[in-house]
Amino acid sequence: MNTPKLRVICASVLCAIFVVGLFAGTVSPYPYAKQFRERPNAAPSSTHLLGTDSLGRDLFARLIYGTRVSLLLAPAAALLATLLAGIFGGLAGLVGGWCEKFILAATDLSMAIPLLFVLLALRALLPLDISPVLSVIATFALLGLLGWPSSLRVVWAATKNLRNCDFLLLARATGCGRWRMIVRHLLPNLRPVLFAQFWISIPVFVLTEATLSMLGLGVIEPLPSWGNLLRGLEDISAVTANPWRLTPLFLLALVVICFQLILPAQEETA
Amino acid sequence: MTSESPLLSARLSVDYRNKPGVLKNLCLEIQRGEIVGLVGESGSGKSTLALALLQLLQLKGAKVQGEVVFQGENLLQKKESQLRDIRGRQMSVVLQSPLTSLNPALRIGTQLKEAWRAHANGTGDQCHAAVRAALRSVSLPDSEEFLKRRPSQLSVGQGQRVIIAMAILHRPALLIADEPTSALDTITQSEILSLFARLNRELDMAILYISHDLLSVAALCHRVKGGLSTLNE
């Protein structure tokens, strides 16, 4: 199978998953919190495609709603992180001097501390009994606000390279103003870099959210996410008895692999 | 400014942070409508002079001293906003390599429109008309297909003509051509030189032609200002 074909397949898989997540309310057979109390831990059947959990909730419905939470908010967090990286990385690369030194020092400091530890510490500062919706917002806002340092380094290097390019010199020589030069001449050249950073941040944030939620510090029940659905895997006997419970893990791996396999195509278009 | 006073009169010294004395008290005068050739070996400061005249060297951390009197005003005493108004409108530059001077991410039409919009607030139609006229004046097609091309889709000669078109969009009084033919083959070189001669004739545009190619300087210029190294005291 040639690579372009593989990319098309990956893109199709991602699109399909995104669409299902986006229209979870229509696609899902039941609301994610609806309990079938007479059927807890049910095996897969025509009524419950992936069975039910210990509270009798339909796992297929929860998986679909979980997809929406994980896959729609991770790009939002990636967008925020890329935006921050773009603004501060671009500023450091363009202005130089003490501004560049300060921004890079702050970036190095942030990169020296593992993201997951910082997220755990900050998330632990928030009350554990916050509402599920707030927990989603807090989780992804934290991811977005803390996930920029590595992207910033890349944007900074790209901007610094472009700063002394002849075409920017020529734009200045034609009388182009500073802001117009940044928006009309510099940004189009940074766009592939920014897009690549945005793209590679999405699977990272999906995985980080899953880790946080598995630890109980991410998206809070009853709202489903791939992370808190995976909490069911803590008990290995439950997994061996109900192997279909691995579906969120399979989906998570599939999505991350698809994101990674599509990425070279994005770089080529740069 | 009297009618006899030169269009440009410069006396310059330029020091880079790690390379002092790149230009020392260099004196240069250009009259209106005159083509002045400036020759010098590689590394003698030819491009430094071109950027110093446009006050673009400060960006590279260079220190420029002396005076650049252009149309009666010393550019070294002007603010950046005032200089922006002069660059491209009254004094333009054509850089050495068209392949690196054109923005790879923008279409040719967009780059020309950007250059026009830097000094004009007209309608889209006026902008389009000005861009097409500039392309025609440098013997390039003014079709939509050409305007939609990206720099990578142009030959080196076409790229250089596009840069010249950008430089003459606002009919500047002085065009600084910094080794504009060094990246071109002999035939294209000759075409570009003819183009400069025609633009000088038709627009009465003064040209500072910087080169190390004595033959092209002899073919184009009204006056040659000697070796750049000898101009430095």
ipTM of the complex: 0.89
Residue B10 phi, psi dihedral angles, 5° rounding: -125, 140
**Strands (DSSP E) along B5-90, which ranges?**
8-16, 19-30, 35-39, 63-70, 73-74
Nearest Cα neighbor of A221 from A61, A37, A66 is: A66
> What pLDDT is recorded for position B231?
46
Rounded to an integer, what distance in angstroms lies between the CA atom of residue B46 and that of residue B146?
A: 33
CATH code at A150?
Answer: 1.10.3720.10
Write the residue in B60, B87, B106 that is nearest to A174 by C-beta.
B87
State which residue of chain A sits closest to B87, comparing Cα positions: A175
| pLDDT value of position A1 | 52
- Is it true that the peptide bond before A222 is cis, omega within 30 degrees of 0? yes
For A190, nearest residue in chain B (alpha carbons): B105
Find, among B224, B191, B190, the residue nearest to B207 by Cα. Answer: B224
- pLDDT of B60 > 50? The answer is yes
Question: A165 vs B100: CB contact, 8 Å cut-off?
Answer: yes
Query: What are the pLDDT digits (tens) for B164-173?
Result: 999 999 999 9
Whether B97 and A173 lie within 8 Å, measured CB to CB: no
Angle between helices A187-214 and A59-95 (to 10 degrees): 140
Domain total for chain A?
1
CB B229 within 8 A of CB B24: no
Over residues B60-86, mean pLDDT? 90
Give the position of tokens 């005003």.
B73
Which domain, by its residues, includes A29? 3-269
Mutate to test the interface with B, among A159, A167, A178, A187 (most CBs of B within 10 A): A167
- Do the strands B63-70 and B8-16 form a parallel or antiparallel pair, or are they unpaired? antiparallel
Interface of A with B in 158-217 (CB under 8 A): 164-167, 169-177, 180, 184-185, 188-189, 191
The whole-number pLDDT of residue A17 equals 93
Q: Give the model's confidence band at B130: pLDDT under 50 very low, under 70 low, under 90 confident, else very high.
A: very high
Q: Which CATH number fits domain B34-47+79-224: 3.40.50.300, 3.40.50.10490, 3.40.190.10, 3.30.565.10?
A: 3.40.50.300
| CA count, 13 A, side-chain hemisphere, B176 | 28
**Rounded distance, CA A262 to CA A14, Å?**
10
Return the closest-CA partner of residue B157 out of B217, B97, B93.
B97
Q: Residue A254: phi, psi to the nearest 5?
A: -60, -45
**Residue of chain B nearest A189, judged by CA positions:** B105
Tell me which chain B residue has its CA closest to the CA of residue A192: B105
Cross-chain CB nearest to A170 (options B89, B95, B105): B95
Q: What is the pLDDT of residue B16?
A: 87
Beta bridge partners of B36: B208, B223
Whether A249 has its CB under 8 Å from any CB of chain B: the answer is no
Query: Quick check: B114 and A185 CB within 8 A?
Result: yes
Question: Å from B92 to nearest chain A CA?
Answer: 7
- How much is the pLDDT for B230? 42
Residues 6+ apart with CB under 8 A from B107: B147, B148, B149, B150
Distances (CA, A) of A107 to A80, A82, A205, B130: 16, 14, 18, 46
* Contact state of B84 with A166 under an 8 Å Cβ cutoff: no
Q: Is B194 in contact with B22 (CB distance < 8 Å)?
A: no
Which token pair is B141? 């097609």
User: Is the minimum CB–CB distance between A8 and chain B shorter than 8 Å?
Assistant: no
Amino acid at A163: R
Residue B3 confidence class, pLDDT cut points 50, 70, 90: low
Q: For residue B228, what pLDDT band results from cuts at 50, 70 and 90?
A: low
pLDDT confidence of residue B18: 82
- Using CB atoms, which residue from A164, A166, A176 is nearest to B95? A166
Cβ contacts of A149 within 8 Å, gap of 6 or more: A85, A107, A110, A111
Confidence of residue B175 (pLDDT cuts 50, 70, 90): very high
B115 pLDDT more than 90: yes
Q: How distant is the Cα of B4 from the closest Cα of chain A, in angstroms?
A: 28
In angstroms, rounded to a whole number, what is the distance separating the alpha carbons of residues A120 and A208?
10
Option in B51, B87, B101 nearest A167 (CB) = B101
User: Strand pairing partners for B63?
Assistant: B15
Q: What's the token pair of residue B204?
A: 């009465």
> Of the candidates A177, A184, A188, which has its C-beta nearest B84's C-beta?
A177
pLDDT at B58 over 50: yes
Query: Which residues in chain A land under pLDDT 50?
Result: 266, 270
d(CA B29, CA B220): 17
Minimal Cα distance from A187: which residue of B? B105
pLDDT digits (tens, 9 = 90+) for A214-254: 888 888 888 898 888 888 777 777 778 788 888 889 999 99
What are the strands of the beta sheet with B206-211, ordered from one edge? Answer: B91-94, B174-178, B206-211, B35-39, B223-227
Q: Give the minimum alpha-carbon distance from B89 to chain A in angstroms, rounded to a whole number.
A: 7
First to last CA, chain A: 24
